């Protein structure tokens, strides 16, 4: 009986200590790193119009979904991107379209991409973005084309894990 009371007391004590040490969640008011990242390889065929300069970089990770289309024998991935902030006070949204690619030398990595922002809405970090470059991918590629329709049936959704650097550009001065 004494052992279970002592154990209960220790559990309550540990919970009290851990709760008293809890840190309040930090509220963010900005997004991205405004310092141009060192060591990122931007493909030479990715050119930006005059007056477009670097604004900030984000490091992203997640999943890219590919759909097996046996009629075309291809893995389908959309070329249209919606960018939205996770910061509650930032209401900015940007819609972008793929305008250029640079193939990866590693078949496990997705191609580098340059996007043109077609329109923006709201106020915040993405409200003045004109171009986006996704570079230095790790992962993100679809399975081999010959597996669509053989190992994977029509309509199969394949989720490919990735990390990449996302560079955002806007009108400005260097």
Tens digits of residue pLDDT in 54-102: 999 999 999 999 999 999 999 998 767 889 888 888 999 999 999 999 9
Q: Has residue 160 been placed in a domain?
A: yes
Give the CA distances from residue 66 to residues 60, 69, 78, 103, 157, in Å, rounded to whole numbers and listed in that order. Answer: 18, 9, 8, 17, 6
Q: Has residue 155 been placed in a domain?
A: yes
- The predicted pLDDT at position 164 comes to 94
Helices (H) and strands (E) in the chain, counts: 1, 7
- Those residues of the chain that have pLDDT short of 70 are 1-29, 79, 174
Q: Sheet of 80-84: strands edge to edge?
A: 74-76, 52-69, 157-171, 129-139, 112-121, 93-102, 80-84
- The predicted pLDDT at position 8 comes to 35
The count of domains in the chain is 1
CA dist 42 and 112 (Å) reads 8
- With beta carbons less than 8 A apart as the criterion, state whether 158 and 69 touch: no
Q: Has residue 111 been placed in a domain?
A: yes
Q: Has residue 4 been placed in a domain?
A: no
- The predicted pLDDT at position 16 comes to 36
Q: Has residue 165 been placed in a domain?
A: yes
Q: Has residue 41 been placed in a domain?
A: no
Q: Has residue 40 been placed in a domain?
A: no
Q: Has residue 34 been placed in a domain?
A: no
- The predicted pLDDT at position 24 comes to 52
Supply the range of the domain harboring residue 115. 52-171
- The predicted pLDDT at position 86 comes to 83
């Amino acid at each position: 009986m004494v052992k279970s009371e002592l154990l209960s007391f220790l559990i309550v004590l540990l919970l009290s200590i851990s709760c008293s040490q809890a840190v309040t969640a930090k509220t963010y008011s900005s997004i991205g790193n405004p310092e141009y990242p060192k060591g990122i390889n931007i493909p030479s065929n990715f050119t930006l119009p005059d007056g477009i300069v670097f604004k900030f970089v984000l490091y992203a990770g997640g999943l890219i979904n590919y759909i097996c289309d046996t009629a075309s024998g291809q893995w389908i991935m959309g070329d249209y991107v919606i960018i939205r902030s996770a910061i509650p006070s930032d209401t900015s949204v940007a819609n972008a379209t793929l305008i250029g690619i640079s193939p990866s030398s590693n078949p496990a990595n997705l191609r580098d991409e340059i996007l043109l922002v077609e329109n923006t809405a709201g106020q915040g970090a993405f409200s003045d973005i004109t171009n986006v470059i996704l570079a230095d991918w790790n992962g993100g590629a679809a399975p081999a084309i010959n597996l669509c329709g053989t190992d994977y049936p029509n309509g199969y959704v394949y989720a490919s894990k990735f990390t990449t650097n996302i560079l955002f550009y806007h009108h400005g001065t260097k």
